[in-house]
Amino acid sequence: SPRVGVLSLQGDVREHVRVLTVLGADVSLIRRPGELASIDGLVLPGGESSVIDKLARAFGMQQPVRAAIAGGMPVYGTCAGMILLADDITDGIAGQETFGGLDVTVRRNAFGSQVDSFETDLDVPALGAPPVHAAFIRAPLVEAVGEGVDVLASLDDGRVVAVQQGGLLATAFHPEVTGEHRFHALFLDLVRGR
C-alpha cells in the first residue's frame, strides 16, 4: 500500500488520516525533516496557512518540503494546504511564505470571514458522477493558473477551486470533512504512479 504522510503541524490532520486509511494507505504523521524519507506522498491539511508556514519554518521543515516537491513527490493540499502549495499568494499575512511548486496565484480568505463559509455541489469531470459535495471554510480561490496547470473544478461563476499540475493536487474546499474520498483516491493514484 502507498506510504503517505500528513504534515502535522496544525490543522485538520485527523480527518485526512481517516480518509487515507479507509482508502488503504499506510499513513504517517510528518513533523520532522527526517520523516519525509519514509513517505512517497504528502498531504498538506486545511487549517491556518500562516500558522503552518510559521511552524514549518520553526521546525526546519520548509526547505525539506520544498526539496521533496522539487524532487517530484506527489502532494495534495486542501484549503490552507492549497495556499501552501501556491507559488504566489495575495492577502497573506505580513511575511507569509509558501512551499510553492504549484504554478498558481491563490487569494487567501477570498470569500470573506468564517461566517461566509458555505457548501455546494461541484461538477468535477475528472472524477465523473456524482458531483462533489464541497465545504468551503474561510476558503481561498485560485486567481491565476500557469500553462501547465489543469483546472479540475470551478464554481458556477467560473472561479477556480480545484487544480492539478502533474503530481500536485489542490482544492480550495475540504473533501476530508464531507465524506468525499475521490480526491484522496486520485492523490493515491498519483503516488502509485510514481
Name the residues that contact ligand GLN, by CB under 6 A: 46-49, 79-80, 83, 108-109, 137-138
Nearer to ligand GLN, 58 or 194 (CB): 58
Q: Which of 43, 150, 158, 174 is nearest to 102 (CA)?
A: 150
Nearer to ligand GLN, 2 or 89 (CB): 89
Nearer to ligand GLN, 2 or 11 (CB): 11
Known catalytic residue at 181: no
108 carries a ligand binding annotation: yes
Q: How far is the CB of 128 from ligand GLN (least distance, A)?
A: 26
Q: Kindly state the helix (H) or strand (E) to which residue 89 belongs, with its residue range.
A: strand 86-90
Residue/partner pairs of 28-34 with CB below 8 Å, 24 or more apart = 28/3, 28/4, 29/5, 30/5, 30/6, 31/7, 31/59, 31/61, 32/59, 32/60, 32/61, 33/59, 33/60, 33/61, 33/64
Q: Which is the catalytic residue, given 15, 79, 180, 184?
A: 79
49 carries a ligand binding annotation: yes
48 carries a ligand binding annotation: yes
32 carries a ligand binding annotation: no
- Any idea what DSSP says for residue 104? E
Q: How far is the CB of 124 from ligand GLN (least distance, A)?
A: 19
Q: How far is the CB of 68 from ligand GLN (least distance, A)?
A: 20
Q: Which is the catalytic residue, given 35, 119, 147, 176?
A: 176
Cα–Cα distance between 80 and 10 in angstroms, integer? 10
Known catalytic residue at 133: no
Nearer to ligand GLN, 138 or 184 (CB): 138
92 carries a ligand binding annotation: no
CB 52 within 8 A of CB 43: no
How many C-beta atoms lie closer than 10 Å to residue 80's C-beta?
Answer: 27
Residues making up the binding site for L-glutamine = 47-49, 108, 137-138
Return the active site residues.
79, 174, 176
